[in-house]
Amino acid sequence: MTLNDVKLIFEFVGGLGMFLYGMNIMADGLQKAAGGRMKRMLGYITNNRILGILLGALITAIIQSSSATTVMVVGFVNAGILTLSQAVGVIMGANIGTTITAWIVSMSEWGEVMKPEFFAPVLIGIGAFILLFAKKEKRREAGGILVGFGLLFIGLSFMSGAIKPYRDAPVFAQIFTTLGSNPLFGILAGMAVTAIIQSSSASVGILQTLAMNGVVTWNSAVYITLGQNIGTCVTALLASMGAHKTAKRAAVIHLMFNVLGAVLFAVPMFILFRLNGAWASSAISSTQISMFHTVFNVANTVILFPFAGKLVALSEKIVRDKEAEVEETTEQQILSHLDNRILENPSFAIETAKREVVHMGELALDSVKLGLTAVATNSREAVDKIRAQEKTIDFMASALSDYLVKITNLSLMEDQSEQVKNLLYTVNDLERIGDHAENIAELAESKIKGEIHFSPMGQKDLEQIYSYAQGAVENAVLARKNEDAESIRKVIKFEDLVDNAEEDMRDKHIARLANHECRASHGVIFLDLIGNLERVADHAYNIAGYVKDEM
């Protein structure tokens, strides 16, 4: 091996690195540009599989990776956000969306103006200029997309240049003749390369770079491409390890879908190549690889779409239910909902965290409601339930805080960073509401032990302020869930009512004490109760304020 050979190997590896890094930067910029649209996509995923296919294709086209999309789907299924039936459509769509990268790579064959070396440096220059001097977030996103796009093409140019001196080498002809004459070898080669680099888009890009130099034959390209579609399933299969059985089934469906498609195409293509040997051994272009890749994935989806239900049923037979499966604890369920696989996409990760924050809010609200039952009816059962829920609320606060910190380390837009910060603050306020509910439970327990009963007037006042505090928390949770301005206004109204009622009730209670209408020991519990309710309303007000800041 000469020094020049080493130089060309370095050039190829460097080109591959630039290609992968450029694709990553471009996908990151596209994700940011999509912004809230990515978040809204989650709400559109229903049992309508056609809609799921469209969304899967769109998401993959944006993030430039079917592997990442499928890993997210595994995470969504594991978190209980998607059912297996819903996941099938998204997985099918992801295979179609990944063909976008192949078309971007093949652009260099569409004329001199489209060649990487012609316009890629200009794209990088313009993009870098925008990134350095632009202040607005949207412009900086556009700059990132341009730089990524340019680096992707420069990487392709480096890879192509490194291969060019060897295009007449007998070794290439021998390799692709072997792979083309034996479908199994071709498919295994495609699988192996894709499994190693964990990206079908990148492995197809490498194949297209070889095709640009005229060293890839039609039959070898077809079999390798089919293998690449199977190889991309490895990422999702690895991601499903340690997940629920339902998430494992989603990964298995992805594998079955691509394996069945590869078999359905490999058999007729093998026959066609046998009938026309000249065509089989002729060189294939990068654009023709893009065309086959697209036709395969679209046709595979059309053929297998009617059998989506059968794929789900078959996956359930492959990944069977354990006979004595241990039921998950509440803590395990919470951790499974905050699945790290969903961190592949910041918008979806934020939406997932928001769902769990709302769930935490509903638990805190339930604890507040139970507090009135405990105080009004001297219910020990309500006291015990509040304490049990407080442990869950504390666990959720810790788990959500950790998950939100992980999200802050992702590439976020300015408004996303603001929302994550507000979600962290909300978690803290909800945890404090849970603490106050526990304080109320302790006061109720003291009331039960001391056989304390409030006067009819005191009981009526307590129920009134309780309804206000409960209304404040209920609307704060609704405001966080729906980003609803009307709910925010109601929180403000209820918080004012609580403040006024607390001040009025404190004065009236002191007057009753002065007139010896109730005991001092009773009064301490009563004043502590209304004090806790006033702080509950304050925390609800804070939560509504965070939502208002985002609107």
377 part of a folded domain: yes
Q: Are residues 291 and 366 in the same domain?
A: no
Question: Which mean pLDDT values do the consecutive 10-residue runs of the chain (551 residues) have?
Answer: 80 85 80 67 69 86 80 83 85 89 82 70 90 83 86 82 73 73 88 82 83 86 91 85 84 93 92 90 90 93 91 89 57 79 84 91 94 87 92 93 92 86 96 94 86 76 90 95 92 94 82 66 78 94 93 75
Q: Are residues 425 and 312 in the same domain?
A: no
pLDDT of amino acid 198: 75
Q: Are residues 285 and 387 in the same domain?
A: no
pLDDT of amino acid 48: 75
**Which tokens in the block code for residue 364?**
């805190």
Q: Are residues 91 and 113 in the same domain?
A: yes
Token look-up 């009819």 returns 456
Q: Are residues 483 and 398 in the same domain?
A: yes
Rounded to whole angstroms, the Cα distance separating 422 from 407 reads: 13
Q: Are residues 232 and 362 in the same domain?
A: no
In terms of residues, how long is the chain? 551
Are 338 and 353 in contact by the 8 Å Cβ rule? The answer is yes
14 part of a folded domain: yes
Q: Are residues 234 and 366 in the same domain?
A: no
325 part of a folded domain: no
pLDDT of amino acid 324: 43
Contacts 24+ apart (CB under 8 A), 292-297: 292/221, 292/222, 292/225, 293/99, 293/102, 293/204, 293/225, 294/96, 294/99, 294/102, 294/103, 296/225, 296/226, 296/229, 296/261, 296/265, 297/95, 297/96, 297/98, 297/99, 297/229, 297/261
> Which residue among 318, 344, 362 closes a domain?
318
DSSP string, 452-502: ----HHHHHHHHHHHHHHHHHHHHHHHHHHH--HHHHHHHHHHHHHHHHHH
Closest CA to 59 of 93, 16, 26, 11: 93
Question: Which structural domain, as residue segments, surrounds residue 359?
Answer: 332-550
Q: Are residues 291 and 399 in the same domain?
A: no
CATH number of the domain to which 499 belongs? 1.20.58.220
Q: Are residues 296 and 374 in the same domain?
A: no
327 part of a folded domain: no
State the pTM of this model.
0.78
Closest CA to 306 of 88, 114, 131, 508: 88
Q: Are residues 277 and 340 in the same domain?
A: no
> Which residue among 318, 352, 372 closes a domain?
318
pLDDT of amino acid 45: 65
324 part of a folded domain: no
Q: Are residues 364 and 242 in the same domain?
A: no
429 part of a folded domain: yes
Q: Are residues 63 and 24 in the same domain?
A: yes
Distance set, CA 215 to CA 38, 114, 169, 207, 222 (Å): 40, 21, 9, 10, 14
How many structural domains are present in the chain? 2
